[in-house]
Amino acid sequence: MLSTTIVLALGAYGATEPVFNGPLDPAGRLLKITENSSPQGSRNPIKSGGANAASLGINGSLGGRRMFPDDNPWNTPIDTEPVDPLSDSIISTIGANDPLHPDFGANWNGGPFGIPYIVVSKNQPKVPMDFIWYGDESDPGPYPFPPNAPVENGSDRHVLVIDVDNWILYETFYSFYVGPGWQTACGAKFDLNSNALRPDGWTSADAAGLPILAGLVRYDEVYEQGAINHALRFTVQITRKAYIHPATHYASSNTSTNRPPMGTRFRLKASFDISSYPPHAQVILRALKKYGMFVADNGSDMFLSGTADPRWNDDEMNTLKNVKASDFEVVKMGPIHQ
């Protein structure tokens, strides 16, 4: 058990809108991200030969490799699935005129904003983990967390680490490095070769029990691969006290059927014209038409999650704000767990 004591803060799971001005190092200082920053801080990308030549380090490229099997819900096209009968009412309660908001970028308040991640190899040492809030719903350590893993700025303080050789994703919420390991609210481990879900009723580093990294808009896919071949994640302010697989957890007391359960899938309407948008914004819009986006947490309405990366072109990404909630529809929901 790690002995360091942490004073807990309010704002867990999106209850308070965090202020982003770049990812933090474990001591709470702004972390300077260089292109393909390595776990040791090198400016040169380190390649992991066993995983499609992925780049190790902060916001490293996955080399086009897709998380989870092809038949996983994250990777299943939904562009021809029927619309849910409650689609119009759910969109209306969110706010039909609310804009899609890219909750990521290169510069806001002096630095990149969004959720950073780090790519490590099988040789990354594993360290002890102390889960202080949801230990009974956490996957036990040790985790391969570098001491300088980037921490999301704001109250959520997510840390996302992907072991690209063993193809395992590790994620934590409200995370602090205390040496030799980390103290966090909870932790989740995802085998990216498997379709296994977390147990029903279990949270993860995300309020919905979902993986976070799998649903982020990432620079390597938008600018290097030119395609996003999976669903994305977004937030709404008020969710329903229910969830739909692949989500496994709810975080609401609201029982209105006009509110979306965790795991509800939205898609951009096929009729929406994307031709006037910049090419890189079109990459995101095509993914939203084909794969859609999951309700993954409570937060600001229609906030689309992505990585904190200084390489983003904010002018291009901000064109996404011209898309409205009414340009989306809710895909027919599967069994609802309450």
d(CA 8, CA 15): 14
pLDDT, residue 41, reads 33
Give the confidence band of 54 by pLDDT, cuts at 50, 70, 90: confident
- pLDDT at position 103 is 98
* pLDDT at residue 10 tops 50: no
| Residue 10 CA from chain centroid, whole number | 21
Phi/psi of residue 201, nearest 5 degrees: 90, -10
> Does 14 reside within a domain?
no
Percent of all residues in the chain with a pLDDT value above 90, rounded to a whole number: 83
Residue with tokens 């979306």: 260
Q: What is the mean pLDDT of residues 18-25?
A: 41
Q: What pLDDT score was predicted for residue 21? A: 39
Average pLDDT over residues 43-62: 67
Based on the structure, what is the number of domains in the chain? 1
Q: Is the pLDDT of residue 92 over 90?
A: yes
Q: Which has more pLDDT, 8 or 149? A: 149
Q: Is the pLDDT of residue 307 over 60?
A: yes
Q: Pull the structure tokens for residue 262.
A: 């965790």
- pLDDT tier at 23, thresholds 50, 70, 90: low
Residue 63 pLDDT class (50, 70, 90 cuts): very high
- Residue 271, Cβ neighbours under 10 Å: how many? 7
What is the per-residue pLDDT for 129? 98
In a domain, 32, yes or no: yes
Which residues constitute the domain of residue 272?
Answer: 21-330
Q: Decide the pairing of beta strands 328-330 and 182-184.
A: unpaired
Structure tokens at 42: 């090198």
Residue 335 lies in a domain: no
In a domain, 9, yes or no: no
Judge if the upstream peptide bond of residue 279 is cis by omega within 30 degrees of 0. no
* Residue 294 covered by a domain: yes
pLDDT tens digits, one per residue of 111-154: 999 999 999 999 999 999 999 999 999 999 999 999 999 999 99
d(CA 299, CA 306): 14
Higher-confidence position of 272 and 43: 272
Q: pLDDT tens for residues 167-225?
A: 999 999 999 999 999 999 999 999 999 999 999 999 999 999 999 999 999 999 999 99
In a domain, residue 338? The reply is no
Task: Establish if 111 belongs to a structural domain.
Answer: yes
The pLDDT of residue 52 is: 54
pTM value? 0.87
Provide, rounded to the nearest whole percent, the portion of the chain with pLDDT above 70: 84
Q: Quick check: is 10 in a domain?
A: no
Whether the pLDDT of residue 46 is over 90: the answer is no
Cα–Cα nearest to 137, from 83, 207, 33, 235: 207
